[in-house]
Structure 1
Amino acid sequence: MANNVLSLTDDNFKKTVQDAKSPVLVDFWADWCGPCKMIAPEVEKLAAELQGQVLVCKINVDDHRETPNSLGIMSIPTLLVFKDGREVERTVGFRKNDELKKMIEKHL
């Protein structure tokens, strides 16, 4: 995982999202998911481009099931944007970097 992408767990998810001073993008993924592997470089590129403006995180849904269940994650990849600790945007499936950037920039 890129060094500017934070790996989340069920234990640190809520605190990380609630304490963030900037919007948070969370990528819900799994090792076996093809589209998740396709979107990973797009998410990492976005994290580098918006470093300092957005906190970019990933959470493995196989290793950490409580968080995706509590948020109603049914398909992966699902990407959520949080602002002030609340979900403000959601997208499911592969998205290119520019689509993700537009989704986040309206919350900066």
Structure 2
Amino acid sequence: MAAGSHAVEATDANFSELINSDKPVLIDFWAEWCGPCRMVGPIVEQLAGEYEGKAVVAKMDVDQNSQTPAKFGIRSIPTLMIFKNGQLVDKVIGAVPKNVLEQKLQGAMEPATI
């Protein structure tokens, strides 16, 4: 794991720019007061380090950014969404083990089959 790699901070302001990356983008919608979010947080940080250069890993605090979660109809957190070329391709709601998130992220990294 690369030292010093952290999840990017996603905000309402930088969200559309963030998801329009040429790499898959994993966004963790979380809040300080959410217990399950605190379980997922360290996993998201690990993925940020392990996938540096291959994917964008970001976290959005839903208390500080309300437009984006509202736009996607996020009702419960943590919600983790994976985007590819600006499009939502996968979503996980609730605290899940690291291998589940890794499988979904790797799925988004595979070339699109036409």
Larger gyration radius, structure 1 or structure 2: 2
Partner of 2:37: 36
Shift of 1:85: 0.3
RMSD: 1.0
Q: Measure, in 2, the Cα distance between the counterparts of 1:61 and 1:100.
A: 20
Asked whether the 8 Å contact 2:5–2:49 carries over to 1, the reply is no
What one-letter code is carried by the residue in structure 2 that aligns with 1:43?
Answer: V
Query: For the residues of structure 2 that align with 1:16 and 1:107, how far apart are their CA atoms?
Result: 16
Distance 1:91 1:23 in 2: 15
Instruction: Specify the alignment match of 1:80 in structure 2.
Output: 81
Find the residue that maps to 1:21 and give its secondary structure: coil
User: Could you say which residue in structure 1 is the equivalent of 2:9?
Assistant: 7
For each residue in 1:23-67, what CA deviation from the matched residue of structure 2 results, as whole angstroms up to 9, or x when unmatched? Answer: 000000000000000100111111111111110000000000000
Q: Distance in 1 between matches of 2:68 and 2:5?
A: 23
The whole-number CA distance in structure 2 between the counterparts of 1:88 and 1:49 is 21
3-state SS of paired residue (1:107): helix
TM-score, reference length from structure 1: 0.94
The within-5 A match list for 1:36-75 is 36-75=37-76
Q: List 4+ stretches of structure 1 deviating above 6 A.
A: none
Q: Partners in 1 of 2:26 and 2:39 — Cα distance?
A: 17
Structure 2 segments unaligned to the other structure (5+ residues): 110-114
Give the share of equivalent positions with the same residue, in percent.
41
Number of residue-to-residue matches in the alignment: 106
* TM-score between the two structures when normalised by the length of structure 2: 0.89
The DSSP-based 3-state class of the residue aligned with 1:72 is: coil
Q: Deviations over 1:1-43 (max 9, x none)?
A: x64310011111111112x110000000000000000100111
C-alpha distance in structure 1 between counterparts of 2:5 and 2:50, whole Å:
13
